[in-house]
Structure 1
């Protein structure tokens, strides 16, 4: 039973999880999780920009009882966050997808299943007890995408996330340096890397190397996962076709521009997700948190906005909610935690984030997460943000 998982006693901060996963995982795998595009700076900028937003403590408020539950669309969740879509998650440890799905059910929060996940849409929906949302990228093969949408609808998925910020895959120097690609190719360098991390290697060998299972199980004919293939021919008509094909809720992920956000709203999307792909696409982009209040102002107060990129703590979640997000997603902390100590590490990092969120909600003088707004920010202390 998932409730019997004992949280790791090795992890007390996100930095602990990063340090332990770096030690436990092959360099090739850790760098895939930790790396960003270009010079790697944008991932750090995302976190730095969030950290420079300081919150203002309030006193003499009765904050004994605090509510963290949040509604988005017609869904009621126990917390204002969920798990972002991540491809090939089982690289962080065999059955990581399953751990994440079960953790989402345990906490009554959504998990987003990547079209490039190591576990099928069907199995993830079962493991998460229906808490799964589905994510697709803009088209490599339209036939394949439409097949996935039909599969998802038949399974019972109600929310689709269309990721639009990868028309062309950015250069990721760490992956290139390590010879990371798919299909995986093992040369002398990779063999030595795996040999120096026997626990991961033997467990992966026993469980089987991760594969993009939604591709492998595809009936559309083309079962080859082409990670670096361009999707650059897509345009606004792509969004129109997806909107026509998908009758459930539609979130457009990877929006950093107010004009784009307005056009997406007009095109019939149900929400947008402000994101720079965790710093893994345009390396010279701004931090996602800096774009968030501008996009909220453009869209008005009522249109749902989700947020990701740089989230590492409960305080970061409060910051994003204060600047206009309705709901927050994160992914890397899950991978670090699983890489550090498997399901126990995952349970621990989620517990830490929940505890931080609850504690800091009270320290800013509030008792309900739905009351969070920009008034909790000590604006006078961060007028001149420096990266």
Structure 2
């Protein structure tokens, strides 16, 4: 019933807001500081204009895109997101099944609710493991070894969290993992009985990748000791593909390329880290210009529609990843809600291609008509 009401990502967000406890909704939806950065992400994407073309045969359109030599059936994958099962019990595995069906990359977070081994198996091998540095890095390297043993071939190193961003909406609700239930949280859960009873019946979400000897994790622990020497150690240790995620600066991008990363994921962590960060879509254009057309650049942050996906490819991305809107769809309508939004995004991207006179996303030269703010340059 709820799935049929999801006709765009904002529908999913609106329904999720009704169903989720306030604490959980604001954990998923919230951003750093006064949330100007998250709003600017959206404004920068919304400002991009596309050239509408006519009398082009666009009857046969293909949304498939290659990523690391593999032909994904759709041009968007799933960003690593922590504690997905807060949206609904089994959310992690819903995302994994989606990745398997469409053969798209699934980012498996360090703080996933489901063990990394089960995630890659359910995803049919279409899973990348996301790594956070913590402490002196020893525990993180244990996770690297475990990911390798589980069959992961791609590691995503998240670099933009030297300290966890200060997100006032989380702090107001006293959000902590694992949950600490006080009077405020008790009232919150009591006002959302369907979520609370379902979660109680299925078991409260936990951070599943930390149940191993010699590893402890504190979500708020400083990661400020990570530096280039740590990166060099990791690059030597990990023999598979390495993606650097959370990059917005051109100088950093150049140095990471020279240090041996296989791709860079341009991202502001969905606006959850630095409120004053440059909008990622603008950073993407600058980094693409500096690194040239051949180096793989991925993108996340602020994507809300299939049209946004097309805009991002036109600006220089090689692959796009979606985040919180997928959790909203799960919260709104379970696996049916997720599938509904996924189909909607696919249809939106396909219709956008038709409107701009293209049949695929592999070459979008000349489709940008500029931006209302004048910041996106047309080729």
TM range (shorter): over 0.9
Among 202, 212, 218, the residue aligned to 1:226: 218
Q: Give me the whole-angstrom Cα distance separating, in 2, the residues matched to 1:222 and 1:314.
A: 40
Residues in 2 aligned to 1:154 and 1:384: alpha-carbon distance in whole angstroms: 45
Runs of 4+, deviation exceeding 3 Å = none
Determine if contact 1:83/1:112 at 8 Å carries over to the other structure: yes
SS state at 1:54 partner: strand
Aligned to 1:112: 107
Secondary structure, in 3 states, of the residue corresponding to 2:77? strand
Deviation string for 1:361-385 (max 9, x for gaps)? 1110011211223x11112744168
CA displacement at 1:142 relative to structure 2: 2.2
Partner of 1:377: 368
Structure 1 segment 1-387 matched on structure 2, within 5 A = 8-215=3-210, 217-219=211-213, 221-223=214-216, 225-373=217-365, 375-379=366-370, 381-383=372-374
Consecutive unaligned residues in structure 1, runs of 5 or more: 1-5
Alignment size in residue pairs:
376
What's the CA shift for 1:212?
0.7
Q: Distance in 1 between matches of 2:367 and 2:102?
A: 26
Residues in 1 aligned to 2:86 and 2:364: alpha-carbon distance in whole angstroms: 36
The 1-side partners of 2:163 and 2:183 are apart by 30
Given that 2:2 and 2:332 are in contact with CA atoms closer than 8 Å, whether structure 1 keeps it comes out as no
Q: Is the 8 A contact 1:110 1:132 kept in 2?
A: yes
Cα deviation for residue 272 of structure 1 reads 0.4
Deviation per CA, 1:91-127, whole angstroms, max 9, x where unpaired?
1111100111111111221110001000000010111
Which sits farther off after the overlay, 35-44 or 247-256?
35-44
TM-superposed CA distance for 1:14, in Å, is 1.1
* Structure 2 unaligned residues grouped into runs of 5+: none
**Relative to structure 2, which stretch is displaced further, 275-284 or 130-139?**
130-139
- Identify the residue that residue 3 of structure 1 maps to in structure 2: none
Distance of 1:222 and 1:113 partners within structure 2:
18
Kindly tell me: are residues 360 and 7 of structure 1, through their superposed partners in 2, closer, same or farther at Cα, counting changes over 3 Å?
A: farther
Cα gap change, 1:378/1:203 in structure 2, threshold over 3 Å: closer, same or farther?
same
Provide the rounded CA distance (Å) in 2 between the counterparts of 1:119 and 1:33.
Answer: 18
In structure 1, how many angstroms separate the alpha carbons of the residues matched to 2:142 and 2:232? Answer: 17
SS of the equivalent of 1:251 reads: strand
Preserved CA contact (<8 Å) 1:93 1:339: yes
Contact map agreement 1:7 1:347 (CA 8 A) in 2: no
CA contact (8 A) 2:79 2:107 kept: yes
Quote how far apart the aligned CAs of 1:250 are: 0.4
Contact 1:63 1:366 in 2 (8 A): yes
Closer, same or farther: CA 145–366 of 1 in aligned 2, 3 Å: same
Aligned to 1:9, what secondary structure does the other structure show? helix
SS of aligned partner of 1:162: strand
- 1:56-83 CA deviation, whole Å, 9 max, x = no partner? 1111110000111111222211111100
TM-score (norm 1): 0.95
**C-alpha root-mean-square deviation of aligned residues, in Å?**
1.4
